[in-house]
Amino acid sequence: MIAYTIKNTFVFFVVLLMTGIQLSVAQNARFSVNKFVNQRDTLNYRMLFPDADNMQKYPLVIFLHGSGERGSDNEAQLKWGVQNFATDEAMAMHPCFLIAPQCPENTGWDNFERHDKNVDLKLKPTPSKTMALVIGLIHEMATKFSIDTNRIYITGLSMGGFGTYDAIERYPNLFAAAVPVCGGGDVSKASLIAKLPIWIFHGAEDPAVNPLFSITMVEALVKAGAHPGFTQYPSVGHFSWLAAYKDPLMMEWLFRQHK
C-alpha cells in the first residue's frame, strides 16, 4: 500500500512537471522570433502580438531580462516573468504588443557609473549600445504596428530593473509607466521622472541587489513630488519577480496608465 502511494505520488509529480514544461513551450511559441538590425549592430528579440484589430491601437510593453538570460539563443529571455503577459487570461484581459529583447553576453542594458558596495549610481551621458538598440526598435515598431504611443510601458528584473531606470531617466517622455523589479537608478534624476507612474518591487532579503537601491529611489521620488508604488516582500531574496509579475493588481494598474 505504501509503495503504491509513493508510486502514484511520483507519477503525479512527473505529470505536473511535464504539464508545466508543455505550458511553457506553448507560451514560448506565442512569441515571434526576430532580429533588429541597425547599421552593423543586431539585437535579438521575441515579440508577442495581440489579437490585432487594425482599427484599434494597443499598448506596447518592453520587458528587460536579468543578467542570467544574456546570450544569443533568442530564447533565454523568456525564462522569468514575461510569460505572465502571455497567459490566456492576460492576453484576453490586457491585449498588447510586447517586446522581449535579449542582451548579448558581456553587455548590459544600463550605463551607470558604479562604485563597489555603494548604491549611489550616476547616469553616464550616453546609453549602452544595447539600450540604444532597444530605443531604436521601439521607434521602428511604432511606425510598423498599431501601437498606442501614449501607452508604452517598460519593466525589467534585476539587470533589467537597472535598465528600466536607465531608460526612463534618459527618455522620460517616451514611456507611460514603469515597473522596475529589484533594480536601481540615479536618484539625482528623480525629478525627471517624478510625473511618470512607477511601481517598484524588491525583496527585503535580496542578497544580489541591495534593497537600498529601491528604498533610496522611492525616497528621492517622494521628495521630488512623485507618488510611486513600492512593494517590498518580507523574507524574499532576489526572486521578487516571481510575485511581482503574478500580481493581478500590478497588471491592472500598469495597463490603466497613459500619457
Q: How confident is the model at residue 17 (pLDDT cuts 50, 70, 90)?
A: very low
Encoded amino acid at 217, one letter? M
Spatial separation of the C-alpha atoms in residues 196 and 177, rounded to whole Å? 6
R_g over Cα of the chain = 19
The CATH code of the domain at 33-256 is: 3.40.50.1820
Q: What's the distance, CA 61 to chain centroid?
A: 8
Q: Is the pLDDT of residue 93 over 60?
A: yes
- pLDDT tens digit sequence for 211-242: 999 999 999 999 999 999 999 999 999 999 99
Spatial separation of the C-alpha atoms in residues 177 and 127, rounded to whole Å? 20
Cα angle 100, 101, 102; round to 5: 120
**Range with lowest mean pLDDT among 9-18, 35-44, 93-102, 137-146:** 9-18
Spatial separation of the C-alpha atoms in residues 170 and 75, rounded to whole Å? 28
Q: Is the pLDDT of residue 101 over 70?
A: yes
215 is written with which cell numbers? 528604498
Count other C-beta atoms under 10 Å from residue 1's C-beta. 5
Q: How confident is the model at residue 25 (pLDDT cuts 50, 70, 90)?
A: low
For strand 58-64 and strand 97-102, is the pairing parallel, antiparallel, or unpaired? parallel
Q: How confident is the model at residue 82 (pLDDT cuts 50, 70, 90)?
A: very high
**Mean pLDDT over residues 57-65, rounded?**
97
Q: Is the pLDDT of residue 12 over 50?
A: no
pLDDT of residue 148: 96
Domain residue spans in the chain? 33-256
Identify which of 125, 133, 123, 60 has the alpha carbon closest to the alpha carbon of residue 103.
133
Q: Where are the beta strands (DSSP E) in 94-223?
A: 97-102, 112-113, 122-123, 147-157, 177-181, 199-203
